[in-house]
């Protein structure tokens, strides 16, 4: 004689929960926006400087910021001055990858921007004839010209 195997009530619910848990997809770690911004900027090291440039064909300093932030899903102002105005000021002690560093090079209050990459390093497009590069916050030239840090996300 064949018996029908039936699962009733609470046992059925328990079985469904157990099987459902086994079938769930693993969680994927999503990178924080600042990590995406910094890694995108770092990937551009060696690209040429191009005044007004904001693509891998060539970058100026604010164009590099715009490109890296777009990769993380954020639209930011195009110029250094507008990025400076839009950024929320943060202490240098609270810098995180993806934050911005603003410098005074020349006579204007703020004329250069860079992306903090972590470990006291930043990425920037310095000037005509020099490709995108990394520098240290301890570099005397940049340390003496640092105006402030800010965050746009």
* 141, two tokens: 């030239």
Instruction: Report d(CA 122, CA 97) in Å as an integer.
Output: 9
Determine phi and psi for 127, rounding to 5 degrees.
-175, 170
Active site residue 29: no
Active site residue 124: yes
**CA distance readout (Å), 65 to 21, 26, 73, 124, 126:** 42, 33, 12, 8, 12
Determine phi and psi for 41, rounding to 5 degrees.
-65, -45
Residue 129 φ/ψ region, left for φ over 0, alpha for ψ in the -120 to 50 degree band, beta for the rest: left
Per-residue burial over 96-121, b if 16 or more Cβ lie within 10 Å, else e, is bbbbbbbbeeeeeebbbbbbbbeeeb
Catalytic residue among 8, 22, 29, 112: 112
Catalytic residue among 8, 22, 29, 61: 61
Catalytic site positions: 61, 112, 124
């Amino acid at each position: 004689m064949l018996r029908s195997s039936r699962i009733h009530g609470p046992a059925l619910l328990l079985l469904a929960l157990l099987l459902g848990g086994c079938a769930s997809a693993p969680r994927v770690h999503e990178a924080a926006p600042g990590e995406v911004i910094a890694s995108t900027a770092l990937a551009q090291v060696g690209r040429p400087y191009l005044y007004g440039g904001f693509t891998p064909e060539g970058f100026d300093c604010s164009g590099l910021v715009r490109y890296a932030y777009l990769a993380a899903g954020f639209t930011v102002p195009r110029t250094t001055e507008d990025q400076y105005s839009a950024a929320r000021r943060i202490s240098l002690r609270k810098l995180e990858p993806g934050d911005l560093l603003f410098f005074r090079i020349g006579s204007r209050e703020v004329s250069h921007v860079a992306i903090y990459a972590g470990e006291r390093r930043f990425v920037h497009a310095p000037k005509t004839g020099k490709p995108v590069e990394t520098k240290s916050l301890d570099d005397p030239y940049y340390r003496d010209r640092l105006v402030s840090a800010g965050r746009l996300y």
